[in-house]
Amino acid sequence: MLLSRKTLMNVSVAAAMMGATLGSSVAMAQDAQLRGNVRVVIGSTSTGGDTYQNASIVVDRLAEHLGVNMKVDAVGASSAFRTLDRDSRGNTLMIFHDQSYLGHLYGVQGYDDIFEKYTIGPTIAINPGNAYLVPMDSPYQSLDDIIEAVGSGETVRVAIQPGGVSEIGFSALKNAIAIEHPGQEDNLVAVNTGSQSDKNQQLFDGQADVINGSVQANEQYTRLPESDQKAMRFVWLTARQDTIEQAPEEGLGQTTRDQLLEYVEPNVTVTMGDDENFTFDKEFFFLYNKEMDQGIVDQIDEALEAIYAEGDIQEAQLSAFFIPDFKPSQEASDYLQEKMSRYQEIIDNIN
Partner 1 sequence: MEFLSVLDVSFFLLVGFGTLVGIIFGAIPGMTATMAVAVCLPLTYALGLNNGLALLLGLYVGGISGGMVPAVLLNIPGTPSSITTTFDGYPMARRGEGEKALRICVIASVIGGLISAAVLFLFAPLLADFSIKFSYVEKFLIILLALSVIASLSNSMLIGIFSGVIGIWLSLIGDYSISDGGNGHTRLMFDFMEPYLFEGFSLLPVLIGIFGISTILLEAEKGVKRDVAGERVKIGASGRFSLSTFKGSLTNLTRSSFIGTFVGMLPGVGGSAASVLAYTQEKNLAKDSSQMGKGAPQGLIASESANNALTGGALIPLLSLGIPGDATTAVLIGAFTLQGIQVGPLFIPENHETWYIMMTALVLANFVMFVLMFFAIKHIAKVVMVPKHILYPLIVMMCVVGAYAINYGIMFDVWTLLIFGVLGYLIQKIGLEVAPLIIGFILGSQAEVYFVKSLESFGTYSIFFTKSPIALVLWALIAASVLFAIAMGFKSRARQKMELSQMHTPSNTTAGKRHDSTNG
Report if residue 76 touches partner 1, rule: CB under 8 A: yes
Report if residue 53 touches partner 1, rule: CB under 8 A: yes
The residue among 199 and 240 lying less far from partner 1, judged by its C-beta, is 199
Provide the 3-class DSSP secondary structure of residue 232: strand
Report if residue 248 touches partner 1, rule: CB under 8 A: no
Q: Least distance to partner 1 from the beta carbon of 45, Å?
A: 8
The whole-angstrom separation of Cα 64 and Cα 85 is 26
The residue among 12 and 319 lying less far from partner 1, judged by its C-beta, is 319
Report if residue 314 touches partner 1, rule: CB under 8 A: no
The residue among 7 and 207 lying less far from partner 1, judged by its C-beta, is 207
- Pick one of 100, 187, 193, 212: the residue that binds partner 1 (CB under 8 A): 193
Cα–Cα–Cα angle for 276, 279, 283, nearest 5°?
Answer: 140
Report if residue 155 touches partner 1, rule: CB under 8 A: no
CB 283 within 8 A of CB 243: no
The residue among 123 and 216 lying less far from partner 1, judged by its C-beta, is 216
DSSP secondary structure letter of residue 255: B
H or E element that contains 167: helix 165-180
Scan residues 216-235 and list those touching partner 1 (CB under 8 A): 216-221, 223-224, 228-230
Question: What are φ and ψ of residue 165, in 5° steps?
Answer: -55, -40
Only one of the segments 3-11, 43-51, 275-283, 341-349 lies at the binding site for partner 1 (rule: CB under 8 A); that segment is: 43-51
Question: What are φ and ψ of residue 333, in 5° steps?
Answer: -65, -45
Torsion of CA 171, 177, 182, 183, to 10 degrees: -60
The residue among 105 and 176 lying less far from partner 1, judged by its C-beta, is 105
Report if residue 205 touches partner 1, rule: CB under 8 A: yes
What are the distances in angstroms from CA 343 to CA 77, 269, 296, 332? Answer: 20, 16, 31, 17
The residue among 83 and 271 lying less far from partner 1, judged by its C-beta, is 83
The residue among 52 and 101 lying less far from partner 1, judged by its C-beta, is 52
Scan residues 105-134 and list those touching partner 1 (CB under 8 A): 108-110
Only one of the segments 78-86, 112-120, 122-130, 326-334 lies at the binding site for partner 1 (rule: CB under 8 A); that segment is: 78-86
Provide the 3-class DSSP secondary structure of residue 154: coil
Size of the site for partner 1 (CB under 8 A): 57
- Pick one of 33, 47, 91, 349: the residue that binds partner 1 (CB under 8 A): 47
The residue among 93 and 147 lying less far from partner 1, judged by its C-beta, is 93
Cα–Cα–Cα angle for 108, 112, 115, nearest 5°?
Answer: 135
Picking from 170, 146, 150, the residue whose alpha carbon sits closest to that of residue 160 is 170
Cα–Cα–Cα angle for 172, 175, 180, nearest 5°?
Answer: 125
Provide the 3-class DSSP secondary structure of residue 277: strand
Phi-psi region of 325 (alpha: psi -120 to 50; beta: other; left: phi over 0): beta
Contacting positions for partner 1 (CB under 8 A)? 41, 45-49, 52-53, 56, 60, 72-76, 78-79, 82-83, 103, 108-110, 161-164, 191-198, 200-202, 204-205, 207, 216-221, 223-224, 228-230, 252-253, 319-321
